[in-house]
Amino acid sequence: MPQFTSDWFSNALVNFDYITNYLQKQKTVDSILEIGSHEGRSTCWMLENMLADTGTITCIDPFADRPVTAFSYDSIPEDRSIEQRFRANTAEVKKPGQTLEVHANMSFPALAQLIVDQRQYDFVYVDGSHNADDALADAVMCFGLLRPGGVMLFDDYLWEDDQHYLGRCKQSIDAFVNMFYHRLKLGLVNYQLAIVKKELE
């Protein structure tokens, strides 16, 4: 069985069930992008419950034990114990026909490569850095990777543990929604926020 030392995912299960049902009514979920995987608890759930048996999930995480950001020129830590736990956990549940792509990197350079590769995803889960600058970059870059009709879910929309205004992601998510409002539809809004990318006209 997968082994986890923390659980920041179970409270979001009601949202994931709702989104999974919505997506699977439209089509099979063949491609998922996850920003921030940590030990793989959410990844394992998506492998088991959301992703098609022959689908691909792309996971981006520096697997650091502290916040890191490309905008401060942080480096990837040498300790790979979190990544090793992630890989062991996901190997327990991944179906034979499923593909798991892992980018052990910060989201900014990893997303840039996916954009160059012209990748498209049915579902994007943004659960990376809470910093306002990181969150804004993640939102805009991920939106370009989301297929029309796809869903993007932001975790920690109402997170306020950091007393510094720029240490929270809500303002960046709000700015993204306001700037792209003509291209998206709001989905659920609670501690998390989900949007649907409008179909091409």
Q: Give me the pLDDT at residue 162, please.
A: 59
The pTM score is 0.94
Nearest to 153 by CA among 183, 180, 127: 127
Exposure letters 143-179 (e unless 16+ CB within 10 A, then b) = bebbbeebbbbbbbbeeeeeeeeeebbbebbeebbee
Q: What is the pLDDT along the chain (201 residues), one digit of tens a residue?
A: 788 988 889 899 999 999 999 999 988 999 999 999 999 999 999 999 999 999 999 999 999 888 788 887 877 877 889 999 999 999 999 999 999 999 999 999 999 999 999 999 999 999 988 888 999 999 999 999 999 999 999 998 987 765 666 657 899 999 999 999 999 999 999 999 999 999 977
Domains of the chain: 10-121+128-197 (3.40.50.150)
Say what the pLDDT of residue 163 is. Answer: 64
- Angle CA 192–95–18, to nearest 5: 25
Beta strands at 146-154 and 184-189: parallel, antiparallel or unpaired: unpaired
Task: Please answer whether residues 31 and 120 qualify as being in contact, where contact means their C-beta atoms are separated by less than 8 angstroms.
Answer: yes
pLDDT at 167: 59
| Paired strand residues for 97 | none
DSSP letters for 66-110: S---GGGT----S--HHHHHHHHHHHHH--TT-EEEEE-S-HHHH
